[in-house]
Amino acid sequence: MAEQSQVRASTGQKFVARLRQFLAMREAGVFLALLLMGLFLSLATDTFLTTRNLLNIGRQVSVLGIMALGMTYLLISAEIDLSIGAVFAISSITTGLLLLQSWSLVAAIAVGLLVGVFFGFINGLLSTYGRLPSFIATLGSLSAVRGLALIITDGQPVTVNARHGGIPEMIDQFYALGQGQLFDQIPMQLVFFVLIIVVTWFVLSKTTFGFRLYAVGGNPKAARVSGIRVFSVKIWAFIVMGFLAAVAGILSLAFLPSAQAGRTGVGVELDVIAAAVVGGAALSGGEGTVPGTVLGVLIIGVLKNGLILLGISPFWQEAIIGVVIILAVGIDRWTAGHRSR
């Protein structure tokens, strides 16, 4: 009996230790919020836990998630980018126009990605060497880039199909990037999202650049004294954001092959920032993880999907999403208080 009591006590202590270890994780609060949300929706609806619906959620959050990962890099460096919706639009429009001009698929996508990198680089220069707060610099870029997209298209929509020009084989290959399915089941957008998750996690967690990013965001003066080129690190963070915004824009166009400069990507920056912040990235810099951002993206995606399944009015959906975001961040901050003790 005494031995059994000791075994039970030891098991209980291990459970408590593992629970404390879990609560000490940066993503614990966000994960708990997502778990509770998923549990409620699985009980309230019959279709939430179906494979088709879960894969649909994965596809829906992919474009948002790709950009949120880039925003996480920026927030960690204590910067922000409000122009990503415009970069999203102009990168997709550029790729679409080049495909309609019979460019090869690789060349058109490469130019679209370079457009995103270019505007990310410009935003980085303005926010570092230009001495402009990134909020102001990218707010100006938002209008300038979207205006440029309107000039290029003359305000007309860009529809990528064989009837409007281009090589039919190239158009079909482009569609496959957004509409295709791996193993005839997994959406290609989700596949790209997972690949980018792995790459961004590795860079942030396992490389010198990731360490420097946290150092720059946490204490730029100390980072500069230690020999880190603060401006260079921040510029690269902006470049990553521009590149991923371009990737998201191109994948979005491949799924729905029509874009309009005045509408495409409008307001997307708010969802992207919300997802990163819900995932634990701090606006003050120095905090944030890739797993946390993925959880934040899933919270927003699962919430939107669940509200549709429950038949909630679109007018109420916006209000509910805002309240849940506040609650999710609150839970995360509550667990952060326990982690600091």
pLDDT digits over 288-304, tens only?
A: 999 999 999 999 999 89
Tell me what pLDDT residue 4 has. Answer: 58
The pLDDT confidence band at residue 111, using thresholds 50, 70 and 90, is: very high
The pLDDT confidence band at residue 328, using thresholds 50, 70 and 90, is: low
The per-residue pLDDT of the chain, averaged, comes to 88
The pLDDT confidence band at residue 26, using thresholds 50, 70 and 90, is: low
Of the listed ranges 59-73, 229-243, 325-339, the one predicted with least confidence? 325-339
Statement: residue 19 has pLDDT above 70: no
pLDDT higher at 341 or 42: 42
Rounded mean pLDDT of 234-258? 96
Statement: residue 116 has pLDDT above 90: yes
CA angle, 88 then 321 then 270, to 5°? 25
Spatial separation of the C-alpha atoms in residues 246 and 110, rounded to whole Å: 10
Tell me what pLDDT residue 57 has. Answer: 94
Statement: residue 6 has pLDDT above 90: no
The pLDDT confidence band at residue 18, using thresholds 50, 70 and 90, is: low
27-336 has CATH 1.10.3470 classification: yes
Q: What is the DSSP string of 109-140?
A: HHHHHHHHHHHHHHHHHHHTTT---HHHHHHH
Statement: residue 7 has pLDDT above 90: no
Chain centre distance of CA 34: 17
User: Hey, which of 45-49, 196-200, 324-328 has the most confident mean pLDDT?
Assistant: 196-200
Which candidate, 190, 215, 220, places its Cα nearest to that of 204? 215
CB contact at 8 A, 193 and 57 = no
Tell me what pLDDT residue 140 has. Answer: 95
Tell me what pLDDT residue 321 has. Answer: 77
